[in-house]
Amino acid sequence: MRTPGPAAYKQSMRLFILIACLLLASPAHAQPVHGAPIRALAVLPDWSVVSAGLDATIIVHRLSDGAATILQPAHDGAVNAIVALPDGGFASAGADGGVAIWSRTDTLPVRWLEGHTGPIAALAVNGEAIASASWDGTAWV
């Protein structure tokens, strides 16, 4: 028999916290709201709404019953743009100049793209391509 090592312990704690968050976010409780105005949102094909605030928090709301999931903090600063991706996930970007790619199932980004030296104001998607527009005066594809 193997006893779980510290890594496994950490992993299970993460899971526990995730479940705790999901429970806290269940419809029986008050829904979480952003700590600051909402700056960006996207409606996903599975009828959930991803919203992000000037407080950097990203929340996924299920439209059917209002159940909400708070995602792990990923951005340093305001999130200015969210777009739905063709695979059901979404991308977020903002003041930190990075683009986070999220799947619909993970509460941590699955990828992180960098390149801008200034805040990102907008995102657009065309198939596999994501374009970002930045206050640094440039756009990346």
Partner 1 sequence: MLEGHTGPVNGVAFLSDGTPVTAGYDGTIRAWPEGTSRALARYAAPQNALIATVDGLASAGADGTLHLLSEDGRDRATVEAGIGPLVALASDGNRLAVAALSGTVLIIDTATAQAITAINTGETALWTLGFTDDGTTLITGGSARAPRRWDVATGRALGPIGTVPAPAAAQADRGAQLFRACAICHATGADSASRAGPSLAHLFGRAPASLPDYPYSDALRRLSAPWTRDSVAQLFEIGPQRFAPGTKMPEQRLADPDDRAALMDYLERATK
Applying CB under 6 A, does 107 fall inside the site for ligand HEC? no
DSSP character at residue 46: T
Please, which residue, 48 or 57, has the CB nearer to ligand HEC?
57
Whole-angstrom distance, CA of residue 61 vs CA of residue 5? 35
* Closest approach of partner 1 to the CB of residue 64, in Å: 10
- Contact present, 88 and 125 (Cβ < 8 Å): no
Applying CB under 6 A, does 14 fall inside the site for ligand HEC? no
Place of tokens 């930045």: 134
Please, which residue, 73 or 111, has the CB nearer to partner 1?
73
- Which of 121, 68, 129 lies closest to 96 in space, CA to CA? 121
Whole-angstrom distance, CA of residue 37 vs CA of residue 126? 28
Give the pair of three-digit tokens for residue 31: 């829904």
* Closest approach of ligand HEC to the CB of residue 57, in Å: 5
Of 4, 45, 73, 115, the residue at the interface with ligand HEC (CB under 6 A) is 73
Place of tokens 């028999």: 1
Whole-angstrom distance, CA of residue 70 vs CA of residue 135? 28
Which positions lie near partner 1, rule CB under 8 A? 10, 13-14, 16-17, 20-21, 24, 30-43, 45, 47, 49, 51, 53, 55-57, 59, 61, 63, 66, 68, 70, 72-73, 75-77, 115, 118, 121-127, 129, 131-141
* Closest approach of ligand HEC to the CB of residue 101, in Å: 19
Binding site for ligand HEC (CB under 6 A): 57, 73
